[in-house]
């Protein structure tokens, strides 16, 4: 059985505008789920959710369990770099979003797609691991940390290529992943990414030595999500 998901590629959008947009979709799905429960609608007959792809202008976001000490610049320095900062309601610590990065917001009803939250995060990671493999790179997970890494077990060489941070309520998810394709990595110098002080970040562009076709990368990620979650994605 395939799970029907609506797909929205909204291009380059302000972070707060997009946060409001995904919150609206999230709230509608949660409210529908509450109504469906009272009417005894089975999970397979409920909408499975929406997948949003977006690029953000320069922005730092801090998860609810993160520390502001991991932001290493003040508001004046942020403004000088055309960057904004938000405290948000996802898990995880601080991360950066910017041009050249595929940000994915899967707003999924995990009951409808028949998985748990831990499995959901594992599957998000797997989609990016398989995407990176399409470029001839070996990526994997880091024990004790979410996201997708290159050389996670090699001292001094571990570097993150995709950050993951989610929120879930009534088993409906929001927020998601940030996959560095042609991302300007210098912006990570102004934070301790995801709270780590001893690990680096990377991108497809850095690893492969040249700028990558961004639209092609999006199509690969979408295809891997479709396969791994057994989705039918519709525009």
* Count of domains observed in the chain: 1
Here the CATH number for the domain that contains residue 74 is 3.30.930.10
162 has catalytic annotation: no
Mean pLDDT, rounded, for 118-142: 97
Among candidate residues 54, 185, 194, 225, the one labeled active-site is 194
Per-residue exposure over 193-211, b if at least 16 CB sit within 10 Å of its own CB, e if not: bbbbeebbbbbbbbbeeee
Residue 175 has pLDDT above 90, yes or no: yes
> How does pLDDT run across 85-110, given as a tens digit for each residue?
999 989 888 899 999 999 999 999 99
pTM of the model: 0.92
Sheet with 94-97, edge to edge strand ranges: 84-87, 59-62, 94-97
Contact criterion met (CB below 8 Å) for 26 and 172 = yes
Residue range of the domain that includes 194: 3-234
Confidence of residue 29 (pLDDT cuts 50, 70, 90): very high
Distance between CA atoms of residues 18 and 55, nearest Å:
10
> How does pLDDT run across 52-94, given as a tens digit for each residue?
999 999 999 998 878 888 888 887 888 888 899 999 989 888 8
Which helix (H) or strand (E) element contains residue 150? Answer: strand 145-150
Give the pLDDT score at 185: 94
Give the pLDDT score at 35: 82
Task: Supply 63's token pair.
Answer: 């998860």
């Amino acid at each position: 059985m395939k799970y029907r998901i609506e797909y929205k590629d909204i291009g380059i959008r302000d972070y707060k505008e997009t946060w409001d947009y995904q919150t609206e979709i999230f709230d509608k799905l949660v409210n529908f789920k509450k109504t469906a429960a009272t009417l005894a609608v089975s999970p397979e007959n409920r909408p499975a959710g929406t997948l949003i792809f977006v690029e953000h202008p320069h922005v730092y976001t801090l998860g609810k369990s993160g520390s502001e000490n991991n932001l290493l610049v003040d508001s004046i320095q942020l403004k000088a770099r055309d960057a904004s900062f938000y405290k948000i309601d996802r898990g995880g610590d601080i991360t950066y979003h910017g041009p050249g990065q595929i940000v994915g917001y899967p707003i999924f009803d995990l009951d409808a797609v028949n998985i748990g939250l831990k499995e959901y995060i594992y599957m998000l990671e797997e989609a990016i691991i398989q995407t990176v493999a399409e470029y001839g790179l070996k990526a994997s997970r880091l024990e004790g940390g979410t996201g997708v890494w290159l050389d996670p077990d090699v001292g001094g060489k571990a570097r993150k290529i995709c950050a993951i941070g989610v929120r879930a309520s009534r088993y409906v998810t929001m927020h998601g992943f940030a996959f560095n394709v042609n991302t300007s990595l210098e912006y990570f110098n102004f934070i301790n990414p995801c709270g780590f002080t001893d690990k680096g970040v990377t991108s497809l562009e850095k690893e492969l030595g040249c700028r990558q076709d961004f639209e092609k990368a999006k199509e690969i990620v979408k295809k891997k999500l479709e396969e791994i979650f057994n989705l039918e994605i519709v525009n």
